[in-house]
């Protein structure tokens, strides 16, 4: 019986990050030649985010995707639009917090939600949402993410 010995397919590449994802706004990483305005820029790759930035992108994608919008995973996303036309109240704020907790727990298992605060701002007809997250794989403890939910949708601050 013949045998094949492969000593090495090359050294394993060691990464400086645990998680990597496309940037939320999908920009291109490019090198513009200095000193010449008419030279074409050379595109290297789509910019990527790593570790906590990748987690933030994942959370933003979850908040801005409506179930049914992602073809390969039609259940993915939070449908917070259902709360936009209800009266702004503390009981609705509790429903929003529950929906967020369920969504993050289901769709991003890398993240542990430490705290969710949803404050109903009746005068501005919006909800101020604060998340405190822990990502054990990258030793990220107590990372905060703030956003607003109002008639125009979700905005991140």
**CA distance linking residue 79 with residue 99, whole number of Å:** 9
User: Is residue 53 one of the residues assigned to a domain?
Assistant: yes
**CA distance linking residue 71 with residue 63, whole number of Å:** 17
User: Is residue 27 one of the residues assigned to a domain?
Assistant: no
Domain that holds residue 139: 44-156
- Residue 129 belongs to domain with CATH number: 3.10.450.40
The total number of structural domains that make up the chain:
1
Work out the number of other CB atoms within 10 angstroms of the CB of residue 54: 22
User: What is the value of pTM for the model shown?
Assistant: 0.74
Q: What is the tens place of the pLDDT at every residue in 82-130?
A: 898 889 999 999 999 999 999 999 999 999 999 999 999 999 999 999 9
The one-character DSSP state at 72 is T
Terminus-to-terminus CA distance in the chain, angstroms?
65
């Amino acid at each position: 019986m013949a045998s094949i010995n492969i000593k090495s397919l090359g050294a394993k590449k060691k990464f400086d990050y645990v998680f990597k994802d496309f940037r939320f706004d999908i920009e291109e990483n490019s090198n513009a030649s200095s000193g010449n305005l008419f030279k074409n820029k050379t595109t290297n790759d789509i910019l990527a985010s790593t570790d906590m930035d990748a987690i933030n992108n994942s959370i933003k994608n979850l908040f801005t995707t409506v179930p049914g919008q992602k073809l390969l995973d039609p259940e993915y996303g939070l449908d917070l639009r259902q709360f936009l036309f209800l009266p702004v109240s503390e009981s609705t704020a509790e429903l929003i917090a529950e929906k967020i907790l369920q969504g993050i727990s289901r769709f991003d298992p890398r993240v542990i939600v430490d705290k969710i605060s949803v404050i109903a701002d009746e005068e501005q007809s919006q909800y101020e949402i604060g998340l405190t997250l822990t990502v054990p794989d990258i030793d990220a403890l107590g990372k905060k993410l703030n956003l607003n939910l109002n008639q125009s949708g979700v905005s991140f601050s």
